[in-house]
Amino acid sequence: MVSLAAPFVIATGVAGISEQLYRYAFNRVNKVPETSKEKQKYADAYYGYVDWLRNQPTQVWHLHEDDAAHKLAATYLAADVQTTDTVIISHGYKGNGETMANYAKMFHELGYNVLLPDDRAHGRSAGRYITFGWLDRLDYLDWIQRVIEDTGQDARIVLFGVSMGGATVEMMSGEVLPEQVRCIIADCGYSSIDDELVYLLKRNFHLPKYPFLPAVNAINQRKQGFSLTQVSSAEQLKRNRRPIFFIHGEKDIFVPAEMLAANYDATQGPKEKWVVKDATHAESFWINPAAYQQHVKQFLDQYLTYRLPQE
């Protein structure tokens, strides 16, 4: 009887642990978690950027405003001097548009309109579950159209994201994008959520891929309707032809450097990369904001006028 019961006990344990893992990783959070200890030294500067953004003449934009279950929100900050150049900034895991205030100020200083969406299950947007950029990439297609409607057909759009946001804009690159989208900047995006979860299962929880990741995937397919194996920046980048600038911290142990290599090798368009010395995950800006802005500006100066070759 003991030997017959063992598989049931094991299966129940796997199911229970997998449900806990899913809730931990995918469930909506309504409060931005505290930053890691090594980034506490940037707290004063971070809140200075947030205060700056809150004092700007911003607008709140919405998608699906009459559908409570799918309503999305974004903060829009127009440039001081009227322009058709806009950056759409994609935030990180369990953040929101406001947590990207430092990047908003950087692009504002460069003369861009700035759009800061809150992803599904983040900030002011609806949603129960985090999609790790996969369904968000489709929402951003709608945000792109909203920018074009507001700015005009001569709009020039930059896609920018950090961490999960970096992966989101990388995954957007494989979609059919309007010609107004000129280039992409991705800071420390993962190559696939499958690989990222395997890495974090081992590093944070000391758990193997099998049987836990397939169980978490089954839960996600039931709740969100897609397989985690689909959520791949590297696969999407194989269809990309636009210029892309990859930024990655040299000492990133959350999204390891192997993922940068996979994404860089996958993309088919003009590409550049900058590995930032001594930077941990999503720390590249904070180590030297002026150097970060200069690298971004150099890339944009070269590629904002880029148009896809006619096939």
Per-residue b or e along 115-131, where b marks 16 or more CB atoms closer than 10 Å to that residue's CB: bbbbbbbbbbbbbebbb
Looking at residue 311, what is its pLDDT? Answer: 53
Q: How many domains does the chain have?
A: 1
Half-sphere exposure of 95 (CA within 13 A, CB side): 21
- Report whether 245 contacts 186 (CB < 8 A): yes
Query: Is 185 contained in some domain?
Result: yes
Dist. CA 220–CA 235, nearest whole Å:
20
- Bridge pairing between strands 156-162 and 85-90: parallel
CA 190 distance to own-chain centroid = 9
Single pTM value for the model: 0.95
> pLDDT tens digits for 89-141?
999 999 999 999 999 999 999 999 999 999 999 999 999 999 999 999 999 99
> Which residues span the domain enclosing 269?
39-192+231-303
The rounded mean pLDDT for the chain is 93
Instruction: Using pLDDT thresholds of 50, 70 and 90, give the confidence band for residue 308.
Output: confident
DSSP secondary structure letters along 138-156: HHHHHHHHHHHHHH-TT-E
CATH number of the structural domain spanning residue 82: 3.40.50.1820
Give the mean model confidence (pLDDT) for residues 55-74.
96
Looking at residue 183, what is its pLDDT? Answer: 98
Query: Is 151 contained in some domain?
Result: yes
Query: Is 153 contained in some domain?
Result: yes
